[in-house]
Amino acid sequence: MSKKSISQAINAALTEEMTRDGNIYLMGEDIGLCAGCFGVTKGIIEKYGEDRVIETPIAETGFCAMAVGSAVTGKRPVVELMFADFVSLAFNPIVMEAAKLRYVSGGKATVPIVFRAAQGAGGHFGLHHSNCVEGWLMNSPGLIVVSPSTAADAKGLLKAAIRSDNPVVFLEHKMMYGVKGEVPEGDYIIPLGKADVVKEGKDVTVIASQLMRTYTEAAIKEVEKEGISVELIDPRTILPFDIETFAASAKKTGRVIIVHEHPKTGGVGGEFAAAITEQCFAELKKPVKRVCGADISVGMGDVEPHIFPTAGSIADAIRDIVK
């Protein structure tokens, strides 16, 4: 084990996988000497050269489509989208091509590609650079969507994503790149599609990831002083999500809260809640509750605290559901 930031853990996963497999290459805007907008790919071009760390124009539709083509023909590209908001510019190659090619070929074609993207608010980047995009991608069969919350998960999940023969969108929260944690050295893999029971409890289940997991952990410390026992689950993989783990916890506690940063309407919380209710209706003591971002675009300035869940609002939701 060694202590690494989430950024360093992602860098380690990329480096280890590129050393293991010569078919893996990186593609994206400013990812070479500039190491990307957030410095995640620092030092990789010096190790592997310009043939495997490819600088692109500002043209997400074009270079994502090129990467899909190379994945189908034998390469394993890892594409960096500078901000996750720009998934919207690459929707056709990601959703209409990468996610559907294996199905439309009857399983003959594989699409081993990873789209890395920095998402989330917190830096006052405004409405074009602050979105969480899980909800946009939830309705895309054939696509895998991953949202790591810790350095260890970032490394283990990214290595699993790179080795997958299916397209993966790997979402990294831009405000968490500097968060440090213990990370296993060497070949460390976390299976895609498996949630993490971060903390066991008996009164209420809270499902949260990334920055919302951090806020939830702070909320739990407050409500535990009042004798409330909380079970915390990090979904890690958003699509397909681990309904077995969600349902087992819901049946145990009888109360569920889902926390996410993106807007409530059309968000992943609605899908999580519906699946839990379908499987656990008889065991639920209260309706599943969602604590989510407001249905509004993220403006500039100091508006973010008024739009997104906070540790305080999550704590209030926990108190309310266990009354």
The residues that are catalytic are 129
Q: What is the DSSP letter of 19?
A: H
Burial class (CB in 10 A: 0-12, 13-18, 19+), 139: exposed
Selection from 168, 172, 137 nearest residue 153 by Cα: 172
Q: What is the CA radius of gyration of the chain?
A: 19
H/E stretch holding 100: helix 99-104
What percent of the residues of the chain are helix, what percent strand, and what percent coil, each to the nearest 5?
A: 40, 20, 40
Structure tokens at 248: 């087992």
Strands (E), 32-96: 53-55, 76-81
DSSP state of 135: H
Calpha distance 264→261 (Å, rounded)? 8
258 neighbors 291 (Cβ within 8 angstroms): yes
Backbone angles phi, psi at 189, to 5 degrees: -120, 135
Exposed/middle/buried for residue 78 (C-beta within 10 Å: 0-12, 13-18, 19+): buried
